[in-house]
Amino acid sequence: MSPHPTGRQQPGSACEECRKRKLRCDRQKPHCGTCVDAGIECYVSTNRLARGPKRGDLKALRNRVAVLERCLSLEPTEGNQGANGCEMPFIKSILAAGPHSTSPFTSPRARTNLIWDNEIHVQVPPVTHASVPLAPCPSSLFEFSPSPSSPPRTTLLHDLMRADLDQLYFDRVHPNVPIFNQSRYLSWSPHATCTGGPSHETCLRYAMWTLAMAQSSQFESFRDILYHETRQLLETLDAGENEMGIVHIEQVQAWLLIAFYDFARCSYRRGWVSAGRALRLVQLARLHEVDCPENKVHEEDPVVVEERRRTFWVAYCLDRFISLNSHYSLTLVDEVISTRLPSPELAFQGGHPLQGCFLSEAIASHDHSMLSPLAECAVLANISGRALAHSQSSNNERGATISYGTPVPPMDFWVRHDWLDGMLTKRLESLTRNYPVVSGAVTDPMLLFAFMLAQTTTISMCKILEGSGVIAQCEPAVFEHRKRATRAATDIARLAKAHEQIGYFKAHIFMPLTVFIGAACLISQRAQIMDGLDVAGEGFGLAILEEEGQAFEAELRYCLDALRKMHTFNNIARDHLYLLEARELW
């Protein structure tokens, strides 16, 4: 016997003809024996599909099994009917769904090719191996826009889960979206039912639970299916309402929450579309005229009026946050606002909201009166929106200036710039005096975000001046703005690090955007220092540059660490972290 026995199978790949006829190929080159005998061309394919399950299939199956185990562990009556009399027929769709079907547990990457919003949704499952049994094609693969005649199914949420989600919402979501009086919500929420079709209150509760699940990891298995059902409930309401003058505040609030969810868990584009829908409903409900004398209703509950105010200001801030880095045009116009700023949180939750001032009064005021966190955020969002308009106007003026051949911008640019700069400086001083963040006493995530928003606007003002094309003519002003922008970027990095004590699950959904803008400024400053190190000689100046470079490295690491800790549950953090890491920082 040979010490090196010949293997049963020759090395190499079998030709396509032998594979088709299920024959053993002798793998001879250039033609195998079978092809020579048959007188046909011998072809060997080198492009083979990867064997085994596709990425994400096993995780989806595990999630589906976990949900089914949870369903089987419930009481029979609990598994067939919800706490509020809502039918729960979605279990059959989970059992019928194949591993490649449109499952509510499919990973976000697997859903990127789906088309949403008022279109027919079709996804054809790919062909699987013969060893994997094919499940029948579920009806959920062909989704049409809902109609009033086809009410959506509801998710299996028992009473304990509902109570847990309510608490989770007020712990993690409400500090950044403070539009509800908790006592009032707890008084009407048990009576919200989907019997006889979805109600506005039911849609709002589902939207609250959906956004609460987005800020937690314990409900990950239920999050997507609840999100789909919430959107279907809202679409059903929209399809059944035709009158322009009737807009329920719960419907506006639900779409606002869905917009926040879309930004955090879906995509920036879908969030932008949902936000546009919510902002149009805000206009349709005339929430910008809550305190207009012509609309006064003396018998109305002050808590209800305050909720309407807060709904408007949350929408107003969202409108500005969307354009913070993308420079989209704004939807809500400042000149028509006659809604007072929100009351302090304690007075609002106590059922006796205090009357706030108007936005124009807060902008024109020279004192350092304390405002509520949402009011502070609204004022700073106003300044940020004005800075955006200032940037757009300066771009148009620069184009006209280039056409006329003069390198100096119009005087209007400096009037706007100095006025905005003074307003921002005054607001930041007032914010620092009323809420000393350096002492560590600030534990409100919206206040921390307000500080970061102010610093982000400072960086934006520097960019506007640098892009005006007059750096050579006003070097002192440019140098001062760059120095302030650098300080603002370092403050953003330190605030991002300080937010770790509160927890990033409680962070504002748009906080990663401010962190990214601060990190981009730090990268720019670090590049300038590296250029200085290349030309600097040995001595004291070189040591200073090296020390500054190390400080920027540490602060930049704070920003990246914060984005890395948020990227698993906040897509804004994930997308902007990718942009930073694409520059090969490390």
Given this model, what pLDDT does residue 485 score? 95
R_g of the chain computed on alpha carbons: 30
- In one letter, which amino acid is 283? Q
Given this model, what pLDDT does residue 11 score? 74
Given this model, what pLDDT does residue 29 score? 84
Given this model, what pLDDT does residue 244 score? 64
Given this model, what pLDDT does residue 400 score? 63
Given this model, what pLDDT does residue 405 score? 59
**Rounded (5°) CA angle 73-78-82:** 130
State how far the alpha carbon of 468 is from the alpha carbons of 307, 396, 424, in Å: 42, 10, 19
Do residues 250 and 299 touch, judged by C-beta distance below 8 A? no
Q: Of 171, 166, 167, 180, whose CA–CA distance to 445 is shortest?
A: 171
Given this model, what pLDDT does residue 9 score? 60
Work out the angle between the directed axes of helices 511-535 and 540-566 (0-180°, nearest 10): 160
Given this model, what pLDDT does residue 103 score? 41
pTM of the full structure:
0.74
pLDDT mean values, one per 10 residues, the chain (586 residues) = 52 85 86 87 79 71 75 49 42 46 41 36 38 40 42 65 94 96 92 69 95 92 92 88 78 97 95 96 94 76 95 98 89 94 95 93 87 96 95 78 59 86 93 76 87 96 84 78 94 94 94 96 84 55 69 91 95 94 64
Whether omega before 178 lies within 30 degrees of 0, making that bond cis, reads no
DSSP state letter for 150: S
CA–CA dist 202, 233 (Å, integer): 8
Given this model, what pLDDT does residue 381 score? 97
Provide φ and ψ at 198, rounded to 5°.
Answer: -70, 140
User: Please, what's the b/e burial string for 531-553 (b: 16 or more CB within 10 A of its CB; e: otherwise)?
Assistant: ebeeeeeeeeeeeebeebbebbe
- Listing DSSP states for 57-106 in one string gives HHHHHHHHHHHHHHHHHS-HHHHHB-TTS-B-THHHHHHH--TTS--TTS
Given this model, what pLDDT does residue 435 score? 86
Domains located in the chain, CATH noted: 11-49 (4.10.240.10), 57-127+134-276 (no CATH), 286-404 (no CATH), 435-581 (no CATH)
